[in-house]
Amino acid sequence: MRFQHVCLEALCYRLPDEVVTSEAIEEQLADVYERLGLPAGRLELMTGIRQRRFFAPGTRPGEISARTARDAIEASGIDPGRFGVLVHGSVCRDQLEPATASGVHAASGLPADTMILDVSNACLGLLNGCLLLANMIELGQVQAGVVVGTEIGRELVEGTIDSLINDTALTRQTIKPAFASLTIGSGSAAIVLCDRRLSQTGHRLLGGVVRCDTAAHQLCAGGVSTEDHGDDRPRMETDSEALLHAGIELAAATWAETREVLGWSNDCVDKAFTHQVGKAHRNMLYQRLGLDPAIDYSTVEFLGNTGATALPIAAAMGQEAGHLEPGDRVAWLGIGSGLSSVMLGFQW
């Protein structure tokens, strides 16, 4: 996919106030660690995650997304009447029906002729939403739109901790599929794209590529099962090692095609942002793609894995921190369970 008329006009994020350290999680699991002979500090040592953040108990993603969307719409400086699309793209939603996007739209100040929808694709929902919006802008169907999402990690992490504590048959082997669940954090992000004739930033979306490897769709799976766990909090099982290697290989194939579509070589990529999973994933990804890790902006150490909002939060924080400079060629390297990959190229 190539784009001639699409610009990224605003990137905004919101973070919860409550900080939960990996050490605090391990303190709750002290009896489990002792019974299985696991060393304290294992969670941070293996993932590089010192802490993550949680919204207050009972927080619904839509209420946070509404605020983040309003932030982005205001930051864009574009008349809300020119917005034609609102996509809610996080894993977490308020309910099955109606779309969480409907409540976000009600609080957004956008017009009644805005197309609203939820997009779900694991950790790629916001990036898939960007592609849908970009295509509509490129075709001249809309002038601007906002893609937003909010991930609420508290229930998954706390439910996983309770399950591990209450599983008397747990072993060093059977604890492994739950380990990735303890890395999850919370956050919210919003992205405004617009027709370049409206743009004040000139940050052009040049194009992108999507690829999938659905043979690996069972390597990471989650949901709610009251029969298995006795409550309605979500749980997730992840074959972390197999997912890591399958994801890296999918990323390599996607990046090779992305370079071809954009006419880029590795040497001309100035900055990059990727899905924030852990230090092993980051190191292996950049090594496999042949990119210098110094072009990356990492947030996983202090935010954990914030799902579909992880990459855009990193991009927004990187922009805020001065990581991006005018003229930079910027790569967004998205990977999500399923497996899917979305990679986008920008001219800053």
Catalytic residues: 97, 123
Question: Of how many residues is the chain composed?
Answer: 348
What is 23-63 written as a DSSP string? Answer: HHHHHHTHHHHHHHTPPTTHHHHHH---EEEEPPTT--HHH
Residue 280's CB: how many other CB atoms inside 10 A?
14
- Cβ neighbours of residue 124 closer than 8 Å, sequence gap 6 or more: 308, 334, 335, 336, 338, 340, 341, 342
The first and second tokens of residue 78, run together, are 């574009």
d(Cα 18, Cα 335) in Å, to the nearest integer?
A: 27
CB 10 within 8 A of CB 75: yes
Q: For tokens 């209420």, what's the residue? A: 63
Residue that the structure tokens 């197999």 belong to: 242
Q: How does DSSP classify residue 180?
A: G
- Contacts (Cβ under 8 Å, ≥6 apart) of 36: 170, 171, 172, 175
